[in-house]
């Protein structure tokens, strides 16, 4: 937890997010601010004396608190306003004048300083609200998407996830890796659209995947459960007036063999990095995205992909391939991966993330999600025996519940 002191208040308040803490932090040091202010006051005072009675420049200093309110803290703005009040009042008393002219000048200066402080307080309050909303959105997505890396009996899954830094912070990229009695099941997907509605569809897919990955013995059965989840979510969205959405997804099943099962639902094919070579994995059957099965007469099928030891299987969303540079050119993923094919999965992801930031000059147009899968080291299952055991126990629980349900339907006397 980060603790910061809000300028202008004595109490120290807790902030759980660095973004919110940055709102209350000063952007300019007090030394530089008040040193510059003193220099400005001296220059304006000297010019005011030089011009004499023809033009009084000191009253123009009332705009300084308004300028400081744009970037300063409340305490800094109050300090600047106080200093300007002292300078303006002293200058007016020295130059003299009638009672009403002096009084009106002092009142005008005080009003301008008060408005500057008020504008600063409103700016900081608004920025803090935006920071809290953004923090809540990020925390929501971080709770939905499990932290990486993830170790199972079969694989180690490293990954990166970078949300788009805009008001619609929560995107629709999803991923998950689940240990099941039938091996490790993994998914990476991209929900159509952005915002909370998109993450709602993504959460529906993730919930169905976490359940079906343990329950279904076949990978196509897992995908069928995901299709049903998206269809149910779209039906509910239609009732509430929301837009129906589809989800592109790549679902993998990894066991102890040197091959991996894959069902591609309109997603980008993975890349295999092995023996210093990076190449696209060949998928001969690409079916329609999740939520669009009614538009296709062909059933989804599972294919076999090579996944030898010491190879890295890279899964990613279109935020990687559709990143653009200043000229509008797309990111050359395959060319870049060729330079990193001999690196480990974590090093490949680090290089990919750094290179994407440099290529796009920090301008993101979509979420970026990528998983790098590597076979678990020999004996990894002995270090984590609870993973497979928990999955088997969950599958047995599902089986018993389904068995009881069928028995209750078949035998009306069972009650």
Give the pLDDT mean for 83-100: 75
The chain-wide mean pLDDT, for the chain, equals 79
Contacts 24+ apart (CB under 8 A), 281-288: 281/305, 281/306, 281/313, 287/263
Of the chain, the end-to-end C-alpha distance in Å amounts to 54
Whether residue 380 has pLDDT greater than 80: no
pLDDT in tens, 189-207: 999 877 667 778 888 999 9
pLDDT in tens, 24-75: 666 666 677 667 776 776 676 666 656 655 556 566 777 788 888 888 788 8
Q: What is the pLDDT of residue 5?
A: 39
Interatomic CA distance for residues 286 and 302, integer angstroms:
10
Whether residue 349 has pLDDT greater than 90: yes
> In the chain, what percentage of residues exceed pLDDT 90?
39
Cα-based distances in Å from 408 to 216, 225, 394, 397: 22, 23, 21, 17
Cis bond before residue 231 (omega within 30° of 0): no
Higher pLDDT, 15 or 100: 100
pLDDT in tens, 108-117: 888 888 888 8
Q: What is the pLDDT of residue 80?
A: 83
Q: What is the pLDDT of residue 390?
A: 53
Q: Which one, of 6, 12, 87, 86, lies nearest residue 48 by Cα? A: 87
pLDDT band for position 129 (cuts 50, 70, 90): confident
Residue in the block written with tokens 């619609």 = 168
Interatomic CA distance for residues 408 and 404, integer angstroms:
6
Interatomic CA distance for residues 83 and 93, integer angstroms:
16
Q: Which of 216-230, 233-247, 397-411 has the lowest mean pLDDT?
A: 397-411
| Tokens read off for 217 | 């013995």
With 0-12 / 13-18 / 19 or more C-beta atoms within 10 angstroms meaning exposed / middle / buried, residue 127 is middle
Whether residue 406 has pLDDT greater than 50: no
Give the pLDDT mean for 100-124: 85
Interatomic CA distance for residues 85 and 95, integer angstroms:
15
Helix (H, G, I), strand (E, B) or coil at 414: helix
């Amino acid at each position: 937890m980060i603790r910061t002191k809000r300028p202008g208040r004595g109490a120290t308040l807790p902030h759980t997010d660095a973004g919110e803490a940055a709102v209350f932090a000063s952007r300019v040091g007090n030394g530089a601010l008040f040193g510059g202010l003193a220099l400005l006051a001296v220059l304006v005072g000297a010019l005011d004396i030089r011009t004499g009675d023809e033009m009084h420049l000191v009253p123009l200093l009332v705009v300084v608190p308004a300028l400081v309110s744009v970037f300063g803290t409340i305490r800094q703005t109050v300090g600047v306003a106080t200093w300007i009040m002292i300078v303006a009042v002293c200058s007016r008393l020295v130059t003299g004048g009638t009672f009403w002219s002096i009084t009106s000048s002092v009142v005008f200066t005080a009003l301008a300083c008060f408005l500057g402080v008020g504008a600063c307080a409103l700016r900081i309050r608004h920025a803090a609200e935006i920071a809290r909303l953004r923090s809540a959105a990020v925390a929501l997505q971080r709770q939905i998407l499990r932290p990486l890396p993830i170790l199972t009996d079969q694989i180690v899954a490293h990954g990166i996830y970078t949300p788009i830094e805009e008001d619609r912070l929560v995107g629709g990229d999803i991923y998950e890796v689940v240990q099941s009695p039938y091996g490790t099941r993994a998914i990476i997907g991209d929900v159509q659209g952005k915002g909370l509605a998109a993450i709602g569809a993504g959460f529906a897919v993730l919930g169905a995947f976490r359940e079906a990955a343990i329950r279904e013995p076949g990978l196509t059965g897992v995908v069928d459960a995901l299709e049903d989840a998206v269809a149910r979510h779209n039906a509910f969205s239609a009732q509430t007036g929301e837009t129906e959405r589809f989800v592109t997804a790549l679902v993998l099943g990894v066991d102890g063999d040197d091959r991996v099962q894959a069902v591609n639902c309109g997603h980008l094919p993975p890349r295999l990095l092995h023996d210093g070579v990076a190449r696209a994995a060949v998928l001969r059957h690409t079916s329609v995205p999740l939520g669009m099965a009614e538009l296709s007469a062909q059933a989804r099928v599972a294919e076999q992909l090579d996944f030898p030891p010491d190879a890295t299987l890279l899964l990613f969303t279109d935020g990687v391939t559709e990143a653009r540079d200043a000229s509008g050119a797309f990111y050359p993923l395959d060319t870049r991966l060729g330079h990193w094919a001999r690196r480990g999965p974590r090093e490949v992801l680090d290089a990919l993330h750094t290179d994407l930031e440099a290529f796009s000059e920090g301008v993101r147009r979509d979420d970026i999600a990528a998983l790098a899968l590597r076979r678990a080291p020999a004996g990894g299952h002995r270090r984590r025996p609870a993973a497979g055991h928990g999955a088997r126990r969950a599958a047995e629980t599902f089986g018993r519940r389904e068995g009881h349900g069928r028995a209750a339907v078949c035998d009306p006397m069972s009650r």
